[in-house]
A and B are shown apart, each in its own frame.
Chain A
Amino acid sequence: AQSVAQPEDQVNVAEGNPLTVKCTYSVSGNPYLFWYVQYPNRGLQFLLKYITGDNLVKGSYGFEAEFNKSQTSFHLKKPSALVSDSALYFCAVRVFYGNNRLAFGKGNQVVVIP
C-alpha cells in the first residue's frame, strides 16, 4: 500500500535559518507526492507536488522540495524561515491511479523562533 512517513513530530528552527521538513515514502510504481500546510484553525493548503521531471520542485511561499528516488524521500525545504511559516505540514502520496485519493502522513509541527 502507498504510504508516507514523517519521522519528526516537531521541528524548531530560528527565524532566518534554513527549514527542512522530512518525508519518506513507500509506493509500488511511480510516486506522486504532495506537500500541504495547515495554519491554526484552517484547512490544508496545497504547497507543491512532484509528478515527474526535475527532482527539485518549487512551490508556494518560497518552499521547495527535493525528490530523491534512491532514498525514497521528498523533503520540504525553505532557505530562510519566517515566523509566519509556523504551522503544521503534511506530506501525502497518491494512493491509486484511478482517482486522486491521497494518503497523508501524521504531520510535522514547525515552530519558527523569532
Chain B
Amino acid sequence: DVKVTQSSRYLVKRTGEKVFLECVQDMDHENMFWYRQDPGLGLRLIYFSYDVKMKEKGDIPEGYSVSREKKERFSLILESASTNQTSMYLCASSLAPHTKTGLNQPQHFGDGTRLSIL
C-alpha cells in the first residue's frame, strides 16, 4: 500500500513564525500536492510538484512556499505564519500521467496536520 506520512498530526505555532510541514511518500510517485481543508470550503490546492525541484502554484499559494529536493519529500513552508493560516493541511501523492499506468490514477493522502497559529 502507498504510504504518505506527514511529520506532525498537531502543531501549534505563533504569529510571525516560520513553519515547516513535511510530507514523505514511499511509492516513488512523481506528483505531490499540498492542500488545506476548511469547513464548508472543501480542499483547496496550495501547491503541487510534478518532479524534483519542480513546482506549480495551486489555487491559494499566497503566504506559502514549497520545497522538493528529493522525490519522496515535499515540504510546505509558511514564511510568516498568520492566524488565518490555522487549518488542516493535507499532503497527497500520485503517479505522473504521462505513462499509461499513471494517467488518471488516484491521489493518495496522508492523515493531515492540524495547524493552529496563535
Contacts and interface: CB of A to CB of B under 8 A. Distances in A.
A104 B48 CA distance: 15
Given A41-B111, A46-B107, A94-B104, A100 B4 contact: no
- Chain A, interface residues (CB within 8 Å), range: 20 to 34
Contact of A100 (B43, B58, B90, B96): B96
A46 B106 CA distance: 7
Contacts of A94: 104
- Chain B, interface residues (CB within 8 Å), range: 20 to 34
Contacts, number: 65
Contacts of A32: 104
Given A41-B111, A42-B112, A99-B48, A90 B42 contact: yes
Query: Which of B4, B95, B96, B109 has the largest number of chain A CB atoms within 10 A?
Result: B109
A102 B41 contact: no
Contacts of B4: 43
Contact of B31 (A9, A99, A103, A104): A99
A64 B111 CA distance: 24
A100 B42 contact: no
Contacts of B96: 99-100
B109 to A, nearest CB: 3
Interface of B: 4, 9, 31, 33, 35, 40-45, 48, 50, 58, 90, 92, 94-97, 102-112
The 7 closest A-B pairs by CB, nearest first: A43-B109, A46-B106, A106-B42, A104-B43, A44-B109, A100-B94, A43-B111
19 contacts: A32-B104, A36-B106, A36-B109, A42-B112, A43-B4, A43-B90, A43-B109, A43-B111, A44-B90, A44-B109, A90-B42, A99-B31, A99-B50, A100-B31, A101-B45, A101-B58, A106-B41, A107-B42, A107-B43
Given A43-B92, A94-B104, 11 more contacts: A36-B106, A42-B112, A43-B110, A43-B111, A43-B112, A46-B106, A99-B48, A100-B96, A101-B48, A106-B40, A106-B42
